[in-house]
Amino acid sequence: MKLLCQISKSGIINIHGSLLPRWRGAAPIAHAIYNRDKVTGITIMKIKPKHFDIGEILMKREIPIPEHVTALELGHIMAPIGADMVIETLSDLVNLENKAVEQPSEGATRAPKIKESMGCVDFENQGCDDVYRQYRAFCDKVSMIAAFGELEVKFLDMKLCDLDTDFYSLIQTHFGISDKDLPAGSIFCYKLKKLLMVKCKDGWVGFGKIIVRSKSGWTELRPADFNVYLKNDKHKIFTVHQLSKLK
């Protein structure tokens, strides 16, 4: 990179998917969603040797984050805006370089590369919103995963549900105890919504598809099919996958 900077007469510019200096790093869109940001954006900046995300800013543009968007979907929204910004920058490069602004150190945050462990769901310690943000931020890159005894379970097609008294009556009938007495990680196949419901520390979330790994390999199941794993003990729960221990 240092050599490229030296041989390039006009230097090198880079497009970054955040409003720098916020979310410097490899996964700015995902971390913006995960951390409840309402607005993100695109920054066009100059490149310094060995330092991709700290160069002088040539142009910035804010982009609102839709409420239920995933990182992949937000990336698709941002891509054409970023392309237009690159063309705009190149068309007025000399003027923009004269007005370039140094990045402040205040407000700088890191957006590290997404790792498999970021998909591990801890229903006992995460609320519904925590799991939903995790899903939206990381599901396009890593699997949302938990343990079920010796099995591994991946969660797809997540839904937030408005649950009424009929749902909690079903819970009482199915488990024989009230919702407030059930531990986080409890599982209920909600036939009306065709969802596998899992209890978090502050409520229930639903998944439209699940993939189970046993000794024979991975098998995709409909929510109702998971009942076969609960027939001997409907009180079994999801626990944190061992991947969560990896940093």
Q: Give the pLDDT confidence of 142-178 residue by residue, as tens digits.
A: 999 999 998 999 999 999 889 999 999 999 999 999 9
Q: What is the pLDDT of residue 10?
A: 63
Give the lowest-confidence range in 27-36, 37-46, 47-56, 235-244. 47-56
Whether omega for the bond prior to residue 112 falls within 30 degrees of 0, making it cis, is: no
pLDDT of residue 4: 53
pLDDT at 247: 46
Q: What is the pLDDT of residue 22?
A: 98
For 208-222, what is the mean pLDDT? 91
- pLDDT greater than 60 at residue 7: no
Q: What is the dihedral of CA 120, 122, 128, 132, to 10 degrees?
A: -10
> CB neighbours of 76 closer than 8 A, spacing ≥ 6?
none
Question: What is the value of pTM for the model shown?
Answer: 0.91
Rounded percentage of the chain residues whose pLDDT exceeds 70? 93
pLDDT of residue 8 exceeding 90, the answer is: no
Q: Identify the helix (H) or strand (E) that includes residue 42.
A: strand 39-46
Residues with Cβ within 8 Å of 112's Cβ and at least 6 positions away in sequence, in order, are: 25, 26, 27, 31
pLDDT at residue 2, rounded to an integer? 55
Distance, in Å, from the CA atom of 102 to the CA atom of 46, rounded to the nearest integer, reads: 10
pLDDT at residue 242, as a whole number: 80
pLDDT above 70 for 119: yes
End-to-end alpha carbon distance in the chain: 29
246 pLDDT more than 80: no
CB atoms < 10 A from the CB of 159, how many? 15
Question: Lowest mean pLDDT: which of 37-41, 46-50, 237-241?
Answer: 46-50
| pLDDT tier, 53 (very low <50, low <70, confident <90, very high otherwise) | confident
pLDDT in tens, 102-117: 999 899 999 999 999 9
